[in-house]
Amino acid sequence: MKIAFMFPGQGAQFIGMGKDVYEKYDCAKKVYESASQILDIDMCKLCFEGIRTTYRSNGEIQENVLDKTENTQIAIAVTSLAILEVLKENGIKADVAVGLSLGEYVALIYSGIISFEQGLKLLKQRGYLMGNKVEQGNYAMAAVIGLDSKKIEDVCQKMRENGKFVVPANYNYSAQTVISGYEDVIEEIMEVLKEQGAKRVIKLNTSGPFHTEKLNEAKRLYEKELEKVKFEKGNVKVIKNLDGQYYKDEDNMVDILSKHIVSSVRFDKMMKKMVEDGIDTFYEIGPGKALSGFVKKEIKDANVVSISNVESIESIINA
């Protein structure tokens, strides 16, 4: 049996995530407590109540909702890391680690390429920049199901040639690609893609042009943060979102992780690489079941388990 740990991305969050894990396991509680100190944010309130409380020298308290990008990324990461810590304490290890967008940072922390503290600080800044340093405009995203990604790319390219911004942002699996662009263009291309043979095109509940060139300013500012980080040699193989290939010791991490913000996420290629490497068991660690769903649709006979609460943790430990 060869195991992959998979860590979810934005959209998996929900109020209350990780609460039962925090209450049952001391090692998970320590993850939330350590993260709260590092980030100067009460991570329990953020994850369990959807409230962000930031303590400042003048006593001011700021509250935001969980679904804001600057909050979501750190909340999902900390929840995933808390569950991961329980698995580690029980001797459950992976041969390969992957993550969707922000989830790749959890994979890098697990491998040891980035430290726990550095990883969380980077995600805090990444979430802020992705949520606030965006080229102005009204944006939308849509999931295209049942149409070959090459056809989707061709339609997007034709739209762009006519001055209409829309690009593939997430290649989830062979039959599902997420596109991102101006809202009016997304509305238009949804109908075109249906005419081209898409089984379904679903507009998503998100407004950010994530993983597109509209975040170039965020990328530029984020590079400066990455330059301050010391990257180490990892002890678990991690597959990149950018191209579905393994990280190598000689990789330019600043270049890769900054490009990550404006480049398409290739989870389809990541799955292909895992299959090539003989992975047959896939554990999704953290809130949600999206990655488990992608694997089940793409990889026949895969053993797929979503680990998001005490019940699922204990089931794996007992097995």
Residues with a catalytic annotation lie at 101, 211
Instruction: List the one residue out of 238, 246, 313 whose CA is nearest residue 283.
Output: 313
Q: Please state, in angstroms and rounded to a whole number, the distance separating the CA atoms of residues 287 and 12.
A: 5
Q: Is 173 exposed, middle or buried (0-12, 13-18, 19+ CB in 10 A)?
A: buried
Tokens of 2: 């060869």
Tokens of 236: 């678990």
Which residue type occupies 189? I
Tokens of 112: 């040891």
Tokens 């390219």 locate to: 157
Torsion of CA 75, 76, 81, 84, to 10 degrees: 150
